[in-house]
Amino acid sequence: MIRSLRTSAGRTLAASLLAVLAACGGAASEEEAAADDLTGIYNEMADVLEGVTDGDSLEAAKGDMKDIAEQMKALRDQYEGMVLDTQDEAKISDAVTKGLMAAQERMTAAMMKVGMNPQLTMKFQEVMKEFGDTFDEP
């Protein structure tokens, strides 16, 4: 049960990155904008999940989580065809890359904290299923 959540959370994260970073892309400012947008979405999801402590707060967070999933979908559409190569400093600065990675780690930690709470595991999985396909690869 918990193992499948870890796999699901990892897949969600990887798929969301791949969805935004689909193919070779444009100017540095566009790539940095994409990274900044993705960083914002990850931090927003972390903010929501860090407030989840019980079933009631998870239920209350569902709407925000769905809104964030819609933002991710819009971001994927906006930057369709772009690859965000965080290793290429000519395209994206080290500071932006570090911010993106920190936000990703923060969101992952928040997802795991909620998902590993024995009182929330099943309910959290149900919530994730409701909007999980938004983060799948196109």
pLDDT in tens, the chain (138 residues): 333 334 444 444 444 544 444 333 444 578 888 889 999 999 999 999 999 999 999 999 999 999 999 998 898 888 887 877 777 677 788 888 899 999 999 999 999 999 999 999 999 998 888 876 665 543
CB 70 within 8 A of CB 45: no
> Is the pTM here over 0.75, yes or no?
no
Helices (DSSP H) in the chain: which residue ranges? 2-20, 28-50, 55-78, 94-115, 121-131
| pLDDT at residue 132 in the model | 67
